[in-house]
Structure 1
Amino acid sequence: MADSELPLVVGIGGTIGGVSSTERALRIALDAACQQGFRTRMFGGADMARLPLYDPKATTRTPEEREFVETVRQASALIIASPGYHGSISGVVKNALDLLEETARDAARPYLADMPVGLIATAYGWQATGSTIAALRSIVHALRGWPTPFAAAINSQIVKFDEEGGASDPAVVEQLMLVGRQVARFAPLAATAATP
């Protein structure tokens, strides 16, 4: 099977202003999905910074908005990673997810219907990781997706990521890989559920 024919896992996450711990965590999870036979596409902080603020009344979309929505439409699974800002998800991640309103009337799959969605939260301290995961779960439910059973909560005050794709705590790497493996495991079930 050619790489372009492999099922797709899309990652959404990061922060504006350089590669963050959130993006590095997301990359580990996407690499785990790749090891399970999926191709991946990540929309990191730099990608999300190019998305204008979502305007539901806009009659046209930018090329970046169209690419984002079309890529999510092709996905078999999603992984969303957000930093915890003031106890919830970041504005750039929320803006990207708001853009998925463009899929509301899709006949094949409105929103994220029946799609497995892995969740990752990073924060400088434990409190915001839990509330950020809870916010992400609520959003995924509102978009008709299926949050995977395990979500990774990472305290970036304690755990440090490196440029080689690792982290100072091997248990955190394993948790992130579990997120990637779970979306890969559940993606075929979602495809079966979507078949009439």
Structure 2
Amino acid sequence: MRVMIKIAAINGSLREDSYSAKAIQIAIARIEALGAEVTFLDLRNMTLPFCDGGREYDQYPDVEKLRQTVKEADGLLLATPEYHGSVSGVMKNALDLMSFDELSGKVTGLISVLGGQPNSNALNHLRLIMRWVHGWVIPEQVAIGQAWQAFNEEGKLIDEKLSERFDKFAMSLVENSQKLR
């Protein structure tokens, strides 16, 4: 009997019409189509303080929600815009608010969205962060360059090859989460 895989998905963009949010929604739909349960944590709708290196943030219930959701998940899906050659500050802060307790051993899939040409800077930085906290990053990753022309009016991907990459990415995240569970 297969046990349902749980994935926590974090959108690391605060923009109202975020391309990262569009990308993560596409990934979520494909992950759910494979039978996994996804809990979406949209940082646009959460109130998180700047991490001060401490562990107690009692006046911010969303910190506990973030930590508990990630801790209970088998896998993690992170989507970030690339700002100045790295991850968004809000994504880094959300990860900093967690520790080995939540992140260690977590199978992780990474998506980055850029206004310019696709590259791997934000993805490489997320890999380093996840490796540091003993997470397992899948080899498949998605970098969407020139995001302003990657989606149609309904938020669907225009490029069929990119769509196929999302399928392989989702399959890898679900299968590897199942294996390492």
Query: TM-score scaled by structure 1?
Result: 0.83
Aligned to 1:90: 88
**1:24-173 to 2 correspondences below 5 Å:** 24-48=22-46, 50-57=47-54, 59-61=56-58, 62-101=60-99, 104=100, 110-126=101-117, 129-157=119-147, 159-162=149-152, 164-173=154-163
**Superposition deviation, residue 163 in structure 1:** 5.7
**Superposition deviation, residue 8 in structure 1:** 1.2
Distance 1:174 1:56 in 2: 40
Relative distance call for 1:184 and 1:157 in structure 2 (3 A) is closer
**For residue 151 of structure 2, what is the amino acid of its counterpart?**
F
Distance 1:66 1:149 in 2: 29
Q: Could you say what secondary structure the match of 1:166 adopts?
A: coil
For the 8 Å contact 2:19–2:147, the answer to whether it is kept is: no
**Superposition deviation, residue 136 in structure 1:** 0.9
Q: Could you say what secondary structure the match of 2:103 adopts?
A: coil
**Superposition deviation, residue 178 in structure 1:** 2.1
For the 8 Å contact 1:89–1:136, the answer to whether it is kept is: yes
**Superposition deviation, residue 13 in structure 1:** 1.7
Distance 2:132 2:35 in 1: 29
Q: Which runs of 5+ in 1 are unaligned?
A: 105-109, 192-196
For the 8 Å contact 2:113–2:147, the answer to whether it is kept is: no
* Aligned alpha-carbon RMSD (Å): 2.1
Aligned to 2:16: 18
**Superposition deviation, residue 6 in structure 1:** 3.5
**Superposition deviation, residue 158 in structure 1:** 6.2
Q: Deviations over 1:117-142 (max 9, x none)?
A: 00111111226x31111101101101
**Superposition deviation, residue 157 in structure 1:** 4.7
**Superposition deviation, residue 149 in structure 1:** 0.9
Distance 1:190 1:117 in 2: 11
Moved over 6 A (4+): none
Higher mean C-alpha displacement, 142-151 vs 9-18:
9-18
**Superposition deviation, residue 57 in structure 1:** 2.6
Q: Could you say what secondary structure the match of 1:100 adopts?
A: coil
Query: TM-score scaled by structure 2?
Result: 0.89
**For residue 96 of structure 2, what is the amino acid of its counterpart?**
D
**Superposition deviation, residue 90 in structure 1:** 0.3
Relative distance call for 1:8 and 1:165 in structure 2 (3 A) is farther
Higher mean C-alpha displacement, 156-165 vs 26-35:
156-165
**Superposition deviation, residue 189 in structure 1:** 1.3
Relative distance call for 1:13 and 1:116 in structure 2 (3 A) is same
Q: Deviations over 1:95-130 (max 9, x none)?
A: 1111112xx3xxxxx342222100111111226x31
